Structure 1
Amino acid sequence: MSTAERTFTDARAWARTGTQLFVDAVSGLDEDGFAAPSALPRWTRKHLVAHVAANADALCNLVHWAATGEQRPMYASADERAAGIAKGPTLSAAELRTWLTGSAERLAEGLDRLTDDQWRHEVVTAQGRTVPATELPWMRAREACVHAVDLGTDVTFADLPDGFLAALTDEIRAKRDLAALPEGPLPEVTAWLAGRPHTLADAPQLGPWL
């Protein structure tokens, strides 16, 4: 599957799948489990959960923009984004779960309310890209699916939908401007492209992505 073949329906389904994987992955964690390191350098699971919860809140701002025409950026500033992540370790497991599930529900409800015309309205991402609102589910799918793996519980790239992995591989490959990919199972190739741990032999090391 190429990025051109990724459909809006696909992205919406993957966003729901990734969010559920993430929520389920933290559902059984106690305080020590939340405080344990994630698979991302210098981040505990609390940092990561806060990041994913804050991402949903930020995407809600873009949903509002698409629905009303009132410009509302994802984050007021880079400092606001950093503050959301830093807030994680100060919260209890219960508070983080409430934030995570509440923000995910608000985002899902906001997306469900968008009309066909509103989906076509343009918004601006945190990276400064102008995109139609139809890109919002894909943005959420990437965050939720990849970070569900980053939690370091029992979710792996092999647990993510094949179509999502193919679309993500296509996107990162283009971003990294790679002419060829190493041979191997799709989940491992995607993990390698994303700068995550993988089992591919002799694959060159890549820098972080997302």
Structure 2
Amino acid sequence: MNPADVAPPPPTGRSGAARLPDLEDATQRLVRRVDELPDESYAARSLLPGWTRGHVVAHLALNAESLEGVLRGAAAGGEPAMYPSQRRRDQDIEDLADATPGELRERLLASVRLFLDAVGDFPEERWESGFRRLPDSPDLLPAHAVLGMRHREVEIHHVDLDAGYTPREWPGSFVVATVEALRVRAPGVTLLATDLGRSWHAERGRVTVSGPGPQIAWWLSGRGRGEGLTSNGGDLPRIQEW
């Protein structure tokens, strides 16, 4: 995911702490799923091109570690970067994906604990401080966006594991927040979630995409083929993978 492609949802209160219980619940479900995977299945393909399930678990662990570092750095008064470089980020995933299943499980569990501890320790007055994805990234992202970013990482990549979890199991609150955050990826497109009674209107938009909210969120992440969705313009607009 490139956070610069995503408009951070507005926080609930200054810190967005109301999202924390949902994130903790999603994290627990993810960790249980990873723990239940047979060791031999870590080498199986995930839903992401070129990535095994081991790659997905490695990325989830490293993402938690990077966001923990962001929070620690921002709390100390800096403007930290998530990753030292894109190349280093990608290589770290490749390297960790080669670890044993046991090592991957332990790394994931340790990383989510460190991340949640950093959230709990974060000073309230620093939630409006900023961070960057890379040191040379032009966009400064607000610290309060971290919870939403991590929540999307956990829920969407849980599905990417291709281990029985689907977008249909996403809580409605997560679906709404994700559509609101990722709708910038479909400029000029009005979105109608037929199961939620919710719509997101695009100014001067002539295309309307309709269907179940979870499928809209999945499509906005650049996944699938728009199963369950219809467009009044015929073919669905193409969305770059998130």
Normalising by the residue count of structure 2, what TM-score does the alignment of the two structures yield?
A: 0.78
Instruction: Return the alpha-carbon distance in structure 2 between the equivalents of residues 138 and 5 of structure 1.
Output: 9
Amino acid at match of 1:168: T
Deviations 1:55-74 (A, max 9, x none): 01110111111211244321
8 Å Cα contact 1:193/1:206 also seen in 2: no
8 Å Cα contact 2:26/2:151 also seen in 1: yes
Amino acid at match of 1:175: R
Amino acid at match of 1:110: A
8 Å Cα contact 1:21/1:145 also seen in 2: no
Higher relative contact order (CA 8 A, sep 6+): 1
Match of 1:119 among 127, 140, 150: 127
Amino acid at match of 2:42: F
Which has a greater percent of helix?
1
8 Å Cα contact 2:43/2:52 also seen in 1: yes
State, as a whole percentage, how many aligned pairs show the same letter: 28
The answer for the alignment partner of 1:199 in structure 2 is 227
Q: Summarize the Cα distance change of 1:80–1:14 in structure 2 as closer, same or farther, 3 Å threshold.
A: farther
RMSD of aligned alpha carbons: 2.0
> For structure 2, which runs of at least 5 residues remain unmatched after alignment?
1-7, 192-208
Pick the structure with greater CA Rg.
2
| Alpha-carbon offset, residue 128 of structure 1 | 4.4
The answer for the alignment partner of 1:37 in structure 2 is 45
Amino acid at match of 1:163: S
Of the structure 1 ranges 37-46 and 184-193, higher mean CA displacement relative to structure 2 is found in 184-193
The answer for the alignment partner of 1:129 in structure 2 is 139
8 Å Cα contact 2:185/2:220 also seen in 1: no
The answer for the alignment partner of 1:165 in structure 2 is 175
> For structure 1, which runs of at least 5 residues remain unmatched after alignment?
none
Question: Secondary structure in 2 aligned to 1:183?
Answer: strand
Which has a greater percent of strand?
2
Of the structure 1 ranges 132-141 and 100-109, higher mean CA displacement relative to structure 2 is found in 132-141
Instruction: Return the alpha-carbon distance in structure 1 between the equivalents of residues 128 and 58 of structure 2.
Output: 29
Normalising by the residue count of structure 1, what TM-score does the alignment of the two structures yield?
A: 0.89
Instruction: Return the alpha-carbon distance in structure 1 between the equivalents of residues 121 and 165 of structure 2.
Output: 31
